Amino acid sequence: MAFYYQIKELEVESFNFIVIHTLDVLQSDDSLSLTPESLLRILNRDTVYANEFDIFRAVCRWIKKKQNVLAPDAKTKILSAVRYQLMDNEELSEVRRSELVRSDTIVLDVINDSVTQTLNDRGRLEPNVNFAEYPSKTLSQIDGGTMLRLALPSNINYIEMKLRNEQAMHYSYYIEVSTGKNDWLRVVDHSNYHCRSIQRLWINRILVRYIRIVGINNDSINTFDFLKVMYNTELMHLVKIKNGLVAPKYNVALSSMDATVIEGKWLRTNLLNGDFKNYDENRNYTYHTLNMDCIKVQLAQPYMLSSIKMLLWDCDHRTYGFDVASSVNNIDWEEITPKYYDTRRSWQLFKFELRPIVYIRITGYFSLMNDRLLKIVHLEAPAQVSLEERRSKSQVSSRNK
């Protein structure tokens, strides 16, 4: 009905239901009312997952019901949409012996040709279902890492895992996926980046059965805890994938995102707690002594970033001079700002060319106060647009109109 009346939203929702309940749908009496065109559209989708022999039997049942009203070539088209190369030899033998196939040389030729061709596998697409929680999953240790076997081939775009050693500040790894453990595709490569704690990894949607994570040049044991493996639709609008890395729209310089201050004084978590309203001369900021050290933040994983926003402590009349730099390995640094000797205070926004960032270093050079301190209350990466800024832009837009 959705196809007939061209109701796109209903069509999408129907397919979302079908891909989750494929076999139940194809074996139902209601499926016998499907048109040949509708049945073909279902069979041709990679995300319609069930045992292929069960799909074949459901198709045969549909053909027998419709055989008196089918066009001459409809039977061949429908049977040709079954993916015979996904069946084992015993199932193929039964297919060739079946009533609809054994006397039809055209269909037999289609089957014989299809088993030699490479077509896409079928895999389930269940949005926002965590496959890492399924009791039928299999976890095993492999040379250099950990491998997860999903219960069924599944489409995923998100992997969340925890690096086992919390003290390891220089963890590196890569992730490869496969449907059959023969051909592996590398979907995440953090071999040249420093990583720590929980990894929130987005990839382009891909069908997988096996996922293996391999540690690179790590001092500690290479074991990984899978927290989530899923096709995430709830948050996918908040990220893009650039050069194989996550480019987030949300702030990743937060303790809740497992960022940490590795250099700086006072309570280091102050800088990354997300609170930029409740601070005074005695609380909720991080500082360093000018020309002696710096404030350095390590993100949990490499992100593609093009902006940073920070709030300098401004409870008196001081101004600061400082510079900001970024790195992926804590050795090679790239300037975000030149060295600042001008007067700067309160909120600061820096925009730059998109680049991978793991470390953010802020180094103060002067302050118009005798305590010789650079104090920072809050850090954002990437910069977030505040409600006030949105209102301001809206007002400007209204005036322009």
**Percentage of the residues of the chain whose pLDDT score is greater than 90:** 56
Confidence class for position 329, pLDDT limits 50, 70, 90: very high
User: Is 3.30.950.10 the CATH classification of the domain at 131-234?
Assistant: no
User: What are the b/e assignments for 81-110, b being 16+ CB within 10 Å?
Assistant: bbbbbbbeeebbeebeebebbeebeebeeb
pTM of the model: 0.80
Residue 388 has pLDDT above 60, yes or no: no
Q: In this predicted structure, what is the pLDDT of residue 169?
A: 61
Given a contact cutoff of 8 angstroms between Cβ atoms, the answer to whether 305 and 381 are in contact is yes
Confidence class for position 392, pLDDT limits 50, 70, 90: very low
- Look up residue 87 and give its DSSP letter: S
Domain ranges of the chain: 2-114, 131-234, 255-387
Residue 268 has pLDDT above 90, yes or no: no
349, 351, 357, 360: CA torsion to nearest 10: -30
- The model's pLDDT over 161-209, given as tens digits with 9 standing for 90+, comes to 998 765 556 789 999 999 888 889 999 999 999 999 999 999 999 999 9
Mean pLDDT of the 13-30 span: 91
96 backbone dihedrals φ, ψ, rounded to 5°: -65, -25
Q: In this predicted structure, what is the pLDDT of residue 343?
A: 76
Mean pLDDT of the 309-333 span: 92
Q: In this predicted structure, what is the pLDDT of residue 401?
A: 44
Paired residues of 335 in beta bridges: 325
Residue 396 has pLDDT above 50, yes or no: no
CATH topology of domain 2-114: 1.25.40
- The model's pLDDT over 73-91, given as tens digits with 9 standing for 90+, comes to 898 899 999 999 889 899 9
Q: In this predicted structure, what is the pLDDT of residue 139?
A: 85
- The model's pLDDT over 348-362, given as tens digits with 9 standing for 90+, comes to 999 999 999 999 999
Confidence class for position 270, pLDDT limits 50, 70, 90: confident
User: In 3-state terms, the chain is what percent helix, strand and coil (to 5)?
Assistant: 30, 35, 35
Tell me if domain 2-114 and domain 131-234 are identical in fold. no
Q: In this predicted structure, what is the pLDDT of residue 341?
A: 61
- Cα-Cα end-to-end distance for the chain: 44
Q: In this predicted structure, what is the pLDDT of residue 47?
A: 87
Q: Please provide the size of the chain in residues.
A: 401
Distances (CA, A) of 302 to 31, 248, 253, 256, 335: 48, 11, 12, 16, 17
Q: In this predicted structure, what is the pLDDT of residue 338?
A: 77
Paired residues of 51 in beta bridges: none
Mean pLDDT of the 365-393 span: 76
Least trusted range by pLDDT, from 54-58, 99-103, 178-182, 385-389? 385-389
DSSP secondary structure, 215-245, as one string: E-S-SS---EEEEEEEB--SSGGGEEEETTE
Structurally, at CATH architecture level, domain 255-387 sits in: Sandwich (2.60)
Q: In this predicted structure, what is the pLDDT of residue 134?
A: 80
Do the bridges between strand 334-335 and strand 295-312 make them parallel or antiparallel, or are there none, so unpaired?
A: unpaired
